[in-house]
Amino acid sequence: MGFLNADIHQPVLLKEAMAMLRVVSGSVYMDGTFGLGGHTREILKRSAPSGKVIAFEWDEKAIEHGLKNSGDFAGRLIVVRRNFAEIDLGLIEAGHTKVEGILIDIGCSSLQLDRGQRGFSFQQDEYLDMRMDQRREITAAHIIATAKKQELADIFYYYGEETQSRRIADLIIEERKKAEVQTSGQLADLVAKAIPRKYHPAKIHVATRVFQALRIAVNEELANLSMILEKGAEHLVAGGRFCVIAFHSLEDRIVKRKFAANENLAVITKKPIVPAAREKKANPRSRSARMRVAERLA
């Protein structure tokens, strides 16, 4: 997603996404991850005076901030509080079945990482919630407290690509016999303790992959991503573009595979589009972004 810096929202790959979507006046677009509203705002500007955006977002706090950032577009913005996987129902609720373009921007915003107070980040010691939608029942703390050793190891390995997953799971199981592990600080300390110093990554915090894995598990992110990639083409007009921005190789591989396998789509990007050096410098969190684009066939 985009990120906040000094209270200014910086949507990732903004120019590139607009160019690939080929935004024109009067058309209807779907922003599958409204977030803080940066991509939506730009689509609305470029599709003036009568273009519309149907924005999906399941984080209530993100919707509040996103509406503030998006400005007043005189009824041209329709926000649907659903995950993008629910595209069928969401578009019907918004009064449309087809759109000229779909943009999906996977991941967390700075609102969630830095200000969400829901345990998405290890920068502050917060309760391990990690639910993007507070209506969901299972929290990260619940998974840490109840999952079996092998289940924890599998989550860390398959969703976070953490090679030290078994060591981490072992220590969590031992620790929770003594006391509950309920905060992001506790978990980050356990991960750092479980992984031998020589295996600590040089460029990211040692707990990064574990936190990513838990977030994906709590929110069923990979299942939702697969669903939108399978359903999205059905809701595009002929020639409509499907743009997906991912931040992890795990997600990017799913996008690449699903686009290639869909007989209703033609892949536009043989290699993913990545941020220019200037954007990476201005917004360091954009450095891992990669965008793939496909087009709906007639």
The domain spans of the chain are 3-111+222-296, 112-220
Which of 297, 290, 298 has its CA nearest to residue 106? Answer: 290
Give the lowest-confidence range in 55-59, 70-74, 148-152: 70-74
Minimum mean pLDDT among 6-20, 54-68, 137-151, 240-254: which range?
6-20
Q: Show the CA angle centred on residue 285, arms to residues 202 and 219, nearest 5°.
A: 95
pLDDT, mean of residues 35-61 = 94
47 and 23 Cβ atoms separated by less than 8 Å: yes
Rounded CA gap, 29 and 98, in Å? 9
Q: What is the dihedral of CA 292, 39, 91, 228, to 10 degrees?
A: 30
* Six-digit token string for 229: 């990639």
Q: Identify the architecture of domain 112-220 in CATH.
A: Orthogonal Bundle (1.10)
What amino acid is encoded at 223 in this protein? A
Q: Is the pLDDT of residue 138 over 90?
A: yes
Q: Which of 60-69, 70-79, 183-192 has the highest mean pLDDT?
A: 183-192
- Above 70 in pLDDT, residue 3? no
For residues 133-158, average pLDDT: 97
Q: Say which residue the tokens 């599998």 belong to.
A: 154
* Rounded CA separation 185/209 (Å): 15
pLDDT at 273 over 70: yes
Average pLDDT estimate for 89-105: 97
- Identify the pLDDT of residue 112: 59
Give mean pLDDT, residues 139-149.
Answer: 98
C-alpha 81/C-alpha 90 separation (Å) is 8
pLDDT in tens, 11-30: 999 999 999 999 999 999 99
Distances from the Cα of 21 to the Cα of 16, 27, 104, angstroms: 9, 11, 11
Residue 280 has pLDDT above 50, yes or no: yes
- Least reliable range by pLDDT among 9-13, 98-102, 124-128, 212-216: 9-13
CB neighbour list of residue 156: distance below 8 Å, 6 or more residues apart: 162, 165, 168, 169, 209, 210, 213
Q: What pLDDT does 109 receive?
A: 63
Residue 73 has pLDDT above 70, yes or no: yes
Strand partners, 266: 295
Q: Which H, E and C letters describe the chain, residue by residue?
A: CCEEECCEEECCCHHHHHHHHCCCCCCEEEECCCCCCHHHHHHHHHCCCCCEEEEECCCHHHHHHHHHHHCCCCCCEEEECCCHHHHHHHHHHHCCCCEEEEEEECCCCHHHHHCCCCCCCCCCCCECCCCCCCCCCCCHHHHHHHCCHHHHHHHHHHHHCCCCHHHHHHHHHHHHCCCCCCEHHHHHHHHHHHCCHHHCCCCCCCCHHHHHHHHHHHHCHHHHHHHHHHHHHHHEEEEEEEEEEECCHHHHHHHHHHHHHCCCEEECCCCCECCCHHHHHHCHHHCCCEEEEEEECC
- How high is the pLDDT of residue 39? 95
Select from 193, 295, 279, 192 the least CA-distant residue to 244. 295
Structure confidence at residue 4 (pLDDT): 36
Q: pLDDT tens digits, residue range 181-195?
A: 999 999 999 999 999
Lowest mean pLDDT among 77-81, 118-122, 159-163: 118-122
User: Could you tell me the fold of the domain covering 3-111+222-296?
Assistant: Rossmann fold (3.40.50)
- What's residue 61's pLDDT? 87
The share of the chain scoring above pLDDT 70, in percent, equals 94
Closest CA to 208 of 113, 289, 117: 113
Domains 3-111+222-296 and 112-220 share a fold: no
Indicate if the pLDDT at residue 75 is higher than 50: yes
- Please give the Cα distance from 56 to 132 (Å, whole number): 13
pLDDT higher than 70, residue 237:
yes
Do the Cβ atoms of 296 and 238 come closer than 8 Å? yes
Mean pLDDT, the chain, integer: 92
